[in-house]
Amino acid sequence: MDSVPVIDFGGQYSQLITRRVRELRVYSELIPYDTNIEKIKEKKPSGLILSGSPYSILSKDRKVPVVDKEIFSLGIPILGICYGMQLIARLFDGGIVTSGHNEYGKTKIKLNLKSPLFKDLKPLETCWMSHKDSVVKIPPAFNVIASTPNLPIAGIEEPKNKIYGIQFHPEVMHTPSGMDILKNFLFDICGCSPTWTMVSIIEKQIKKVKDKIKEGRVICGLSGGVDSLVAAVLVSKAVGNKLTCIFVDHGLLRKGEAGKVVETFKQNFKINLIHINARDRFLSKLVGITDPEKKRKIIGNEFIRIFEEEASKIKNANYLVQGTLYPDVIESGTRDAARIKTHHNVGGLPADMRLKLIEPLRLLFKDEIRKIGIELGLPDEILWRQPFPGPGLAIRIIGEVTEEKIKILQNADEIVVEEIKRAGLYKSIWQSFAVLASIKSVGVMGDERTYAYPIIIRAVSSADAMTADWVKLPHKVLERMSTRIIGEVDGVNRVVYDISSKPPSTIEWE
């Protein structure tokens, strides 16, 4: 299987480059900028892409990321994007200056169509710029292949060794021909074949699990969502009845959800299932806790302790399957990407856990999981269930979690989901839910003063949870939600709608 890894310098779009390459059915993954050259060779890449970075290549800071120049001797094509292009210019004795201000946004770019990178494009295209430094002198043996009114050198190439650099970002949707540029790099320049399919992923993961688990038994942390269910079905194909799924009700699920999860699972899968009611255990650990990072880590730790306890009751159960996804890993913080929030199944894991992790979906995005689920024959009711966070309502209650707040939020959230489904919008929206802010405001109900909680409605569209836009819900839908929540949920006297996108916000509030 061909692969084109993305060398990560910590840029905000690094994971998006990886995603775009995968969309073109070529395998890609993020690898640290200082990965040993021998490890890169082991991956047998067909090409490499150098990402952008928040750093300036001109900075005197020792932390500024650079790559081993030996990668240019691997005999494979290399494409540098933004910082990646500046780094190429720097390593090959080009000239770079800082303009003193950011160039950010859409701009027209003139392309040299003789370059194979721009095959079948128009001579004048629109692109997305996001940079402060600029290449002002090309290295020896390089040619200029793109320019803008403000940037004479917006693209470079060294055709003999197939080294390319572009100052703009082809991976973002604001560059309309960006996917065509990546196609040209992957297929015409690197010679890749589009062989990374869902079937190939399934076959590879089943083999990987079989090779890893020669002996012993396996447990799977089941949440009821598509991620953990796909992971469970994949692993069951590898180990059969050696797998036992454990569903833990931590008391922070949506209203009536625990019963629905167990019923749906038993109806659709012939896999051993253990249902644990641990509501009191989790809620007692969260008393007085207001910091969201602490909440996530407490919940992650308790999950693992329960899994360990249950595994000890099963002879030779040494492995734990999790439905961890790539966005979970990225947002929890890699060495070169900032931590946004610690996902309970990544950074929330205790350091001394004894179970060995199996995460067959760790390098996949949500939409890829759904495609795998289709291949595995999962029913639509599972495949298209909106994502729900592992810590549950604990991170949708801002501040301390209490029994009263859980009840209020469960009732309000049920109304939000009911009205979204009633409007026929459930499948087209990535997530739609209610949030409870731990503040109170004055209201008037029945000619009397009230002092009660507000409910925030959140609805977003997304493909992979890495970016998201707020959904412009019809006013009548919002009106019904507001009327019902205030009228039917005790303790609420105000409803507001969150109209922020990700970035700068995140999908969940905590």
pLDDT in tens, 266-303: 888 888 999 999 999 999 999 999 999 999 999 989 99
User: By the 8 A CB rule, do 378 and 323 touch?
Assistant: no
What mean pLDDT comes out for the span 326-337? 60
Tens of pLDDT along 374-425? 998 888 888 888 888 889 999 999 999 999 999 999 999 999 999 999 999 9
Residue 474 and residue 379 share a domain: no
pLDDT above 80 for 103:
no
In a domain, 507, yes or no: no
Structure tokens belonging to residue 337: 């990407």
**3-state SS class at 18:** helix
pLDDT band at 331 (very low <50, low <70, confident <90, very high): low
Q: How many residues does the chain have?
A: 510
- Pairwise CA distance, residues 405 & 453, whole Å: 9
- Looking at residue 204, which CATH number applies to its domain? 3.40.50.620
The more confidently predicted of residues 14 and 476 is 476
Q: Which of 79, 63, 47, 92 is nearest to 168 (CA)?
A: 79
Distances (CA, A) of 335 to 11, 17, 41, 171, 287: 12, 18, 21, 22, 32
In this structure, are 66 and 107 located in the same domain?
Answer: yes
The pLDDT, as a whole number, for residue 353 is 79
CB distance 103 to 110 below 8 Å: no
- Tally of domains within the chain: 3
Q: In the predicted model, is pLDDT for residue 60 greater than 50?
A: yes
Phi/psi of residue 496, each to 5°? -130, 160
Containing domain of residue 311, as a range?
198-383
| 344 domain residue, yes or no | yes
Does one domain contain both 360 and 406?
no
- Quick one: pLDDT at residue 157? 97
Residue 100 pLDDT level (bands cut at 50, 70, 90): low
Q: Is 82 a catalytic residue?
A: yes
Q: How sure is the predictor about 79, in pLDDT bands with cuts at 50, 70 and 90?
A: very high
Decide the pairing of beta strands 317-321 and 217-222.
parallel
Which range, of 78-82, 242-246, 445-449, averages the lowest pLDDT? 445-449
**Does one domain contain both 303 and 419?**
no
Mean pLDDT, to the nearest integer, of 97-126?
A: 87
- pTM of the predicted protein model: 0.73
Q: To the nearest whole percent, how much of the chain has pLDDT over 90?
A: 63
**Which of 189, 218, 236 is the endpoint of a domain?**
189
Q: What is the pLDDT of residue 102?
A: 61
Indicate if the pLDDT at residue 327 is higher than 80: no
Place of tokens 């993961």: 205
Neighbours of 484 (CB within 10 A): 18
Same domain (yes/no): 104, 246: no
| 348 and 264 within one domain | yes
Q: Is residue 108 part of a domain?
A: yes
Domain final residue, candidates 162, 189, 216: 189
* Residue 509, in any domain of the structure: no
Do 185 and 204 share a structural domain? no
Q: Which CATH number belongs to the domain containing residue 76 in this structure?
A: 3.40.50.880
Tokens of 205: 């993961």
Minimal CA–CA distance to 129: which of 153, 102, 156?
A: 102
pLDDT, tens only, 151-207: 899 999 999 999 999 999 999 888 999 999 999 999 999 999 999 888 888 998 999
Helical segments of 28-111, H only: 37-42, 83-91
Q: What are phi and psi of 34, to 5 degrees?
A: -105, 25
Among 125, 131, 169, 302, the one annotated catalytic: 169
Map tokens 């070169």 to a residue. Answer: 336
Task: Answer yes or no: do 183 and 210 share one domain.
Answer: no
Q: What pLDDT shows up at residue 466?
A: 73
- β-pair partners for 9: none
- Same domain for 374 and 297: yes
Same domain, yes or no: 413 and 358: no
Residue with tokens 């493909």: 463
Q: Are residues 175 and 273 in the same domain?
A: no
Give pairs for 376-385: CB < 8 Å, separation 24+. Answer: 376/202, 376/230, 376/233, 376/234, 378/226, 378/229, 378/230, 378/233, 378/268, 379/268, 381/264, 382/226, 382/229, 382/264, 382/268, 383/226, 384/426, 384/427, 385/224, 385/225, 385/226
Q: Is the pLDDT of residue 216 over 50?
A: yes
Q: What local confidence, expressed as pLDDT, does residue 503 receive?
A: 79
pLDDT > 90? residue 101: no
- Please report the DSSP string for 247-316 in residue order: EEE-S-SPTTHHHHHHHHHHHH--SEEEEEE-HHHHHHHTTT---HHHHHHHHHHHHHHHHHHHHTTSTT
Q: Is 169 a catalytic residue?
A: yes
What is the pLDDT at residue 444?
83
Q: What is the pLDDT of residue 349?
A: 63
Dist. CA 385–CA 365, nearest whole Å: 15
CATH value at residue 486:
3.30.300.10
Report the share of the chain in percent with pLDDT over 70: 95
What is the signed CA dihedral for 322, 327, 331, 335, rounded to 10 degrees?
Answer: 90
457 vs 211: which has the higher pLDDT: 457
CA–CA separation, 119 vs 347, rounded Å? 43
Does 20 share its domain with 61? Answer: yes
Mean pLDDT, rounded, of the chain: 89
pLDDT tens, residue by residue, 235-276 = 999 999 999 999 999 999 999 999 988 988 888 888 899 999
Q: Which of 125, 157, 158, 171 is catalytic?
A: 171
pLDDT in tens, 452-495: 999 999 999 987 777 789 999 999 999 999 999 999 999 999 99
Domain-ending residue, one of 127, 162, 189: 189
Per-residue confidence (pLDDT) for residue 354, from 0 to 100: 84
Residue 21 has pLDDT above 70, yes or no: yes
Average the pLDDT over 205-230 and give the result. 88
